[in-house]
Amino acid sequence: MRSVLPLLFFSLLIATAAQAQDVRYVSDKQYVPLRSGAGNDYRITHRGIPSGTRMKIARTSSDGVWAEITTDRGTTGWIRTQYLMKEAPAQNKLDAATERAEQATAASTALATEVETLKTERVDLLNQITSDDSTLDNLTQELNQLKQISGKSVQLDVDNRRLVEEAENLRSKVDMLEAENLRLQDKLKSEDFLDGALAVLLGVIIALVAPRLMPKRRKSSSWA
């Protein structure tokens, strides 16, 4: 915990120092050289900082003629304060405004293109909706027809089942009638056989009994 506090304190100091640094821009002069110290007798460390370069002033010389700066890219050195200004040069502002205008124009063009694309998509969607509505109507009609056909099919199926059941019942009745017919035929044959047998039996009985029932004729005597 003790080791963290000094780091936090140091970070706050750095942040405070960074906020205290003065921001400046190189004036409209195209290129301003940087030197290693506050004076023309110091060597040039950078041949020329272009106009509009943003930089932070770390400190100034006692006479206020020179300032030690650091650019956003990390270039450091001493530059004459007469070439520094608080506002960005007009050319830079113009370039920035031109760039923003170009970006706005490009964005407007892209937006217009997107609007046209959206309009085209809207027309396509409306056409698609119209086509879908027509297709839906056709499908609805087909569905109604299928429902009617399905209803008829259901009724036909019911009638078919009823007819099948009736046919099965008739077939059962026919089988029963055929069985009864065979039984009657067998019965008739049995009765005919019995009748024939009785007739034969009666014939035999008559043949045996009849002679005995007839009176005997007396024989004529030769002596009469």
Neighbours of 24 (CB within 10 A): 21
17-46: per-residue pLDDT in tens? 444 567 777 666 568 889 999 999 999 998
Contact 90, 52 (CB under 8 A): no
Neighbours of 84 (CB within 10 A): 19
49-106: per-residue pLDDT in tens? 888 889 899 999 999 999 999 999 999 999 999 888 888 766 666 666 777 888 888 8
- Residue that the structure tokens 């309009």 belong to: 119
Q: Taking the complete model, does pTM exceed 0.85, yes or no? A: no
All domains in the chain, ordered by first residue: 4-88 (2.30.30.40)
- Computed on alpha carbons and rounded to an integer, the radius of gyration of the chain in Å comes to 67
Neighbours of 191 (CB within 10 A): 10
